[in-house]
């Protein structure tokens, strides 16, 4: 622990109780620690902390209104505890605990129990701890706890499961190999001190956990058993459970189920070393990324402050370094055209060190001025040192933290238990501070702040620069990342310590956006009572529609305001799409300095380009948000204030890179993208958008924006602590700023493809990540125009099938790390999506999926009446769950409005449709739409092949690829996770929702967007002869001919969709085609 010292310095403490934080007595029944605990005044939950005789510490949380129950166990063992000869063993152990225990030996017993009761599970391994967690319907918590407890008492580690799950660990590692944040992180670890475990490779792979140990005569299964026995000690465990039951019942369950877990009085290792030795500081590392991204990272590894949880001096430092208002580092480097994004963060805070990091994205010019940017950061640090810690800045930040805590949303049970278990780690926080964690700080220690700031010097810094343009001379062994590392010249380091005062850099001013009026504008009701109250259309004219709901149930002075600003132009051409996106980013950039204080004060705004135009969303405290909305609308409308050729050049270059980067998405992401592309009309192929991004100019933007703003419709949602009169005033504000606009004459509704009966369409494209070993299959089984009953049947099928699918394809067959199933609604076309990412070829994956489908009738038929009814009742209970917080409800309303659906009660009608469904109904549904040979089966199979596979361009070459695919030849396995942390995840749910079918608007984010290859394919009749390509094939498919589309080349997606697209998605408020339940 650092000691600020300095008797002459004035310390200050915030009175949390006077600020409104509740200090409540913890109930002190037998076995509990008693005492008090700080909590938010809106927190309805009750808490108790207990410690069992075996030293396991547990936090019990009783929530009488919880729909879901949850639990989380943190074990204080992580990758840093791996034996040197077995990198990844802690992560491997985490995987294995899911695969059977002595009491519940079936490998999928735990996951099947959770799935059958509306739940799921996950786990992750970090440097110093491993966290396991689950959630499910509250009625079934005890059964889940009994299974969960056995993870820590008697896991099996069977030889069969061990050998198979090693493949899952290896697959997980391979999915990360081309992810730039992971690659950069691993380079940093690889260069770390060998005197500290920071340098260890944490994921593990087949080499580190099988090949090398076998050659060395190491029995890995025996090592797993030893590792669990040694490190999984109850004195190093923290458990959190949340349920509807009272605290006495929860305590009884914990005592019954966890008391037999063993305590071997393990003592955590004491590490004296630091992540980097002295000669490894003051260095510059160059890393060559996979994607075309550019960034720089300045890192300082300082003495630990983890026990200074009430002072949190690091928060003061990153608050100032990361400020974005006038006088900030970002404002200055933006004015130079060198960067558009800066983040300052506490990258890690451990018992060994504090890692503070400043990260900037770089423009091409910024890459040429890295040293100057470093100089600017040190000039700002000089400003901080010269001014000394400012109590008013600390107090403003502390009171904003209190404000946010006072009106903190009630966390979802699963998130709450995971977060709380981490707050309990290592007994760092006393009981009274567990709920607060890092949300609040109440003790001002300027000497401690000064001590840390004095250590932020060049000789303590590590500088990392990431760009494809850099020269490199070494290769990191686990990820294969190209890098170089060199000491920074002593004279350059010295120059950064003696810098002239930069008059452009200053500490921030007082934040004028901090709200002071928290009056609630409606008498309170319960959330359950308000669930049936939906937004009302309070204004509807030729240009503006306003929906409004005054919140009465969540009792927070917050509001969500959404604007759908609709124009016919953005979707008209790929160029328009690009220009709309660039303009949205330029508007946001132009407002950044002004709105940053609002963001700090809890007023978030987001402006994005959509197929319809622009979407603008505010989530804020109701007081003062009108000022922000007025400013943003004015900035959008007064385009001449935004159009700047220098700013355009920056965002134009970013757009060009982003589309190229998107083309290098993960295999499953790209398969899902092409599946969506085949089915939606208002969507340009990303290749066309990428070409358009190369063509557009600043002059094009200057001509386009006034044209786009000339024809506009506005649809607005106001939900929260705003009266009807306030909501209506937004209509007047909108009319004022966009007075020159005229109503848009066009119907902007997306249309969706409906395939003909008995059609099977294959869309094949190549993985564009060079050297990647991933292929993927996304099978879309189109059911057709949705009714509530059809939706209900498909949802029911999925809750029954989801876990057996995962167990068979992932756990038993080990096809790959990502296996998932999901019902999906495009407009009012409902479909069933199956996703597998693997090292195997897509046609082999398709065979395995279809083989599993052949077992579904028996799977359903073998269910007892009781088990079937339990699936139905659990699903109904999930559908009718109350919303947890205001913005969760807002999001639900906003989706319905922005999609032009307006079916705010769909959850209720789906629940009604589930009532009375039988196994016969479900079997008939499957036989009609999904079984092989079903009369109304319609299948779209989007496939990403390995990078080495040749792109098919003719019927002959395509069929050759298909033949190769059928043999299961080739290799592939990888995925994309943009996380920069060191955690390794595993669970029966992992991957199933991670690789989303909705990749969003291409080009929106550098790491997320870009373009896609135009896939090639042919269409064949059921006899196998060529029937044509592109639009001709689609026409044949709709002409009534029985068509089996073996391979469709979608080098002409637009023609394909134009032929098969049959209807708009517009649905009236009470759509008649949904009514037969």
Q: What is the pLDDT of residues 964-974, one digit of tens each?
A: 333 232 232 32
pLDDT at 954: 29
723 versus 5: the higher-pLDDT residue is 723
CA distance 442 to 712: 49
CA distance 536 to 904: 11
3-state class (DSSP) for residue 463: strand
**In the chain, what percentage of residues exceed pLDDT 90?**
74
DSSP state of 975: -
Q: Give per-residue pLDDT as tens, 288-323.
A: 999 999 999 999 999 999 999 999 999 999 999 999
Q: Give per-residue pLDDT as tens, 955-1011.
A: 222 333 333 333 232 232 323 333 333 343 333 333 333 333 333 344 333 333 333
pLDDT at 19: 79
pLDDT interval class at 269 (50, 70, 90)? confident
**In the chain, what percentage of residues exceed pLDDT 70?**
86
Q: Over 834-858, what HEC string results?
A: EEEEECCCHHHHHHHHHHHHCCHHH
Catalytic residue among 29, 94, 245, 491: 94
pLDDT at 948: 61
Per the listing, tokens 């990198």 go with 87
pLDDT at 240: 98
CB 902 within 8 A of CB 619: no
Is residue 94 annotated as a catalytic residue, yes or no?
A: yes
How many Cβ atoms are within 10 Å of 345's Cβ, its own excluded?
Answer: 15
pLDDT at 34: 64
Q: Give per-residue pLDDT as tens, 334-380.
A: 999 999 999 999 999 999 999 999 999 999 999 999 999 999 999 99
pLDDT at 663: 83
Residue 952 has pLDDT above 50, yes or no: no
CA distance 784 to 935: 13
Side-chain-facing half-sphere of 1047: CA atoms under 13 Å:
29
3-state class (DSSP) for residue 537: strand
Q: Give per-residue pLDDT as tens, 527-567.
A: 777 777 899 999 999 999 999 999 999 989 999 999 999 99
Q: What is the dihedral of CA 17, 22, 23, 25, to 10 degrees?
A: 160
pLDDT at 964: 32
Residue 601 has pLDDT above 50, yes or no: yes
Q: Give per-residue pLDDT as tens, 30-89.
A: 445 567 889 998 899 999 999 999 999 999 999 999 999 999 999 999 999 999 999 999
Per the listing, tokens 């195997």 go with 840
CA distance 290 to 661: 9
CA distance 192 to 347: 16
What one-character-per-residue DSSP string does 159-192 give? HHHHHHHHHHHHHHHHHHTT-HHHHHHHHHHHTS
3-state class (DSSP) for residue 807: helix
Contacts 24+ apart (CB under 8 A), 215-218: 216/85, 218/85, 218/86
Identify the CA nearest to 821 among candidates 992, 995, 996, 994. 992
CA distance 689 to 384: 45
Which residues, including other chains, have CB under 8 Å from residue 644's CB and lie 6 or more apart?
586, 590
Which residues, including other chains, have CB under 8 Å from residue 218's CB and lie 6 or more apart?
85, 86
- How far is Cα of residue 454 from the mean position of the Cα atoms in its chain? 36
pLDDT at 1054: 67
Interval 613-633 mean pLDDT: 97
545 versus 1025: the higher-pLDDT residue is 545
Interval 175-186 mean pLDDT: 96
Residues in the chain: 1077
Phi and psi, residue 195, nearest 5°: -95, 5
How many Cβ atoms are within 10 Å of 571's Cβ, its own excluded?
Answer: 21
Q: Where are the alpha helices (DSSP H) in 981-1044?
A: 1030-1038
CA distance 1077 to 1073: 10
pLDDT at 1060: 62
CA distance 499 to 585: 34
Q: Give per-residue pLDDT as tens, 107-151.
A: 999 999 999 999 999 999 999 999 999 999 999 999 999 999 999
DSSP-assigned beta bridge partners for residue 444 = 12
pLDDT at 979: 36
Q: Give per-residue pLDDT as tens, 1041-1064.
A: 333 444 455 556 666 666 665 444
**Mean model confidence pLDDT for the chain:** 86
Q: Give per-residue pLDDT as tens, 883-925.
A: 989 999 999 999 999 888 898 988 889 999 999 899 999 999 9
CB 162 within 8 A of CB 96: yes
Interval 768-775 mean pLDDT: 90
Crossing angle (nearest 10°) for helices 329-336 and 370-387: 150
């Amino acid at each position: 622990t650092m000691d600020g010292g300095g008797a002459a310095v004035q310390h200050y403490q915030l009175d949390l109780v006077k600020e409104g934080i509740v200090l409540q007595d913890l109930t002190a029944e037998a076995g509990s620690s008693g005492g008090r605990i700080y909590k938010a005044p809106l927190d309805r939950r009750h808490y108790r902390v207990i410690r069992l005789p075996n030293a396991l510490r547990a936090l019990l949380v009783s929530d009488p209104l919880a729909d879901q129950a949850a639990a989380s166990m943190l074990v204080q063992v992580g990758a840093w505890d791996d034996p040197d000869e077995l990198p990844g063993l802690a992560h491997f152990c985490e995987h294995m605990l899911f695969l059977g225990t002595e009491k519940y030996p079936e490998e999928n017993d735990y996951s099947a129990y959770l799935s059958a009761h509306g739940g799921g599970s996950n786990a992750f391994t970090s440097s110093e701890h491993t966290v396991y967690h689950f959630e499910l319907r509250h009625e079934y918590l005890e059964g889940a706890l009994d299974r969960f407890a056995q993870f820590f008492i008697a896991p099996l580690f069977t030889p069969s499961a061990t050998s198979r799950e090693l493949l899952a660990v290896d697959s997980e590692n391979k999915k990360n190999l081309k992810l730039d944040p992971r690659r950069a992180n691993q380079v940093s670890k690889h260069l770390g001190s060998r005197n500290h475990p920071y340098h260890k490779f944490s994921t593990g792979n087949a080499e580190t956990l099988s090949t090398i140990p076998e050659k060395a005569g190491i029995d890995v299964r025996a090592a797993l058993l030893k590792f669990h026995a040694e490190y999984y000690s109850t004195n190093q465990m923290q458990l959190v459970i949340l349920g509807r039951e009272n605290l006495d019942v929860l305590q009884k369950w914990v005592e019954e189920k966890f008391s037999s877990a063993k305590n071997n009085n393990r003592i955590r290792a004491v590490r004296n070393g630091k992540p980097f030795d002295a000669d490894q500081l003051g260095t510059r590392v160059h890393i060559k990324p996979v994607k075309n991204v550019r960034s720089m990272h300045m890192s300082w590894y300082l003495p630990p402050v983890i026990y200074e949880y009430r002072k949190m001096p690091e928060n003061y430092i990153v608050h100032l370094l990361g400020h974005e208002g006038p006088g900030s580092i970002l404002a200055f480097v933006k004015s130079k055209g060198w960067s558009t994004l800066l983040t300052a963060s506490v990258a890690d805070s451990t018992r060994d060190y504090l890692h503070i990091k400043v990260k900037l994205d770089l423009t091409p010019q910024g890459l040429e001025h890295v040293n100057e940017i470093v100089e600017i950061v040190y000039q700002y640090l000089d400003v901080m040192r010269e001014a000394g810690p400012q109590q008013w800045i600390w107090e403003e930040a502390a009171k904003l933290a209190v404000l946010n805590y006072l009106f903190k949303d009630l966390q979802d049970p699963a998130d709450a238990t995971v977060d709380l278990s981490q707050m309990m780690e290592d007994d760092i926080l006393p009981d009274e501070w567990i709920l607060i964690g890092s949300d609040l700080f109440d003790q001002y220690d300027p000497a401690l702040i000064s001590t840390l700031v004095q250590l932020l010097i060049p000789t303590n810094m590590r500088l990392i620069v990431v760009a494809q343009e850099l020269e490199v001379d070494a290769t990191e062994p686990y990820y294969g990342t190209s890098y170089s590392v060199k000491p920074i010249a002593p004279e350059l380091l010295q120059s950064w310590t003696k810098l002239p005062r930069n008059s452009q850099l200053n500490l921030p001013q007082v934040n004028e956006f901090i709200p002071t009026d928290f009056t609630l504008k409606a008498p309170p009701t319960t959330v359950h009572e308000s669930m049936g109250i939906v937004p009302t259309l309070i204004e509807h004219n030729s240009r503006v529609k306003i929906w409004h709901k005054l919140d009465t149930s969540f009792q927070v002075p917050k509001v969500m305001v959404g604007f759908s600003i609709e124009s016919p132009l953005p979707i008209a051409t790929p160029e328009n799409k690009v220009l709309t996106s660039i303009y949205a980013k330029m508007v946001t950039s132009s407002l950044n300095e002004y709105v940053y204080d609002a963001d700090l004060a809890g007023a978030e705004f987001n402006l994005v380009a959509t197929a319809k135009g622009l979407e603008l969303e505010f989530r804020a405290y109701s007081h003062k948000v009108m000022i922000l909305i007025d400013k943003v609308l004015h900035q959008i409308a007064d385009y001449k204030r935004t159009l700047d050729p220098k700013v355009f050049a920056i965002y134009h270059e970013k757009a060009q890179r982003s589309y190229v980067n998107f083309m290098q998405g993960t295999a499953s992401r790209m398969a899902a993208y092409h599946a969506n592309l085949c089915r939606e009309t208002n969507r340009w192929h990303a290749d066309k958008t990428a070409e358009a991004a190369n063509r557009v100019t600043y002059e094009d933007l200057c001509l386009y924006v006034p044209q786009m703003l000339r024809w506009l419709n506005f649809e607005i949602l106001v939900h929260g602590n705003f009266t009807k009169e306030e909501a209506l005033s937004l209509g007047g504000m909108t009319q004022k700023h966009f007075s020159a606009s005229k109503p848009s004459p066009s119907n902007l509704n997306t249309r969706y493809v409906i395939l003909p009966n008995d059609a099977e369409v294959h869309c094949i494209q190549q993985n564009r990540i060079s050297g990647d070993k991933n292929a993927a299959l996304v099978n879309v089984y189109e059911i057709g125009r949705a009714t509530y009953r059809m939706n209900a049947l498909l949802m029911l099928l999925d809750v029954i099938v989801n876990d057996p699918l995962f167990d068979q394809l992932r756990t038993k067959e080990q096809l790959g790390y990502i296996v998932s199933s999901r019902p999906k609604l495009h407009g009012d076309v409902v479909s069933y999506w199956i996703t597998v990412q693997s090292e195997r070829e897509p046609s082999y994956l398709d065979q395995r999926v279809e083989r599993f489908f052949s077992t579904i009738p028996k799977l359903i038929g073998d269910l007892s009446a009781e088990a079937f009814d339990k699936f139905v009742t659990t699903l109904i209970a999930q559908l009718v769950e109350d919303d947890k917080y205001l913005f969760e409800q807002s999001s639900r309303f906003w989706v319905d409005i922005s999609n032009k659906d307006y079916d705010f009660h769909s959850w209720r009608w789906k629940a009604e449709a589930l009532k009375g469904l039988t196994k016969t109904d479900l079997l008939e549904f499957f036989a009609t739409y999904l079984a092989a040979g079903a009369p109304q089966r319609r299948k779209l199979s989007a496939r990403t092949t390995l990078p080495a596979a040749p792109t098919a361009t003719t019927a002959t070459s395509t069929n050759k690829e298909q033949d190769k695919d059928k043999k299961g030849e080739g290799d592939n396995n990888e995925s994309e996770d943009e996380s920069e942390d060191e955690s390794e995840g595993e669970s029966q749910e992992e991957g199933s929702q991670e690789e989303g079918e909705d990749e969003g608007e291409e080009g929106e984010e550098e790491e997320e967007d870009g373009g896609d290859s135009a896939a090639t394919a042919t269409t064949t009749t059921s006899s196998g002869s060529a029937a044509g390509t592109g639009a001709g094939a689609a026409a044949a498919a709709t002409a009534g001919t029985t068509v089996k589309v073996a391979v469709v080349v979608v080098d002409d997606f637009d023609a394909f969709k134009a032929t098969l697209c049959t209807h708009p998605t517009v649905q009236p408020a009470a759509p008649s085609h949904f009514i037969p339940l």
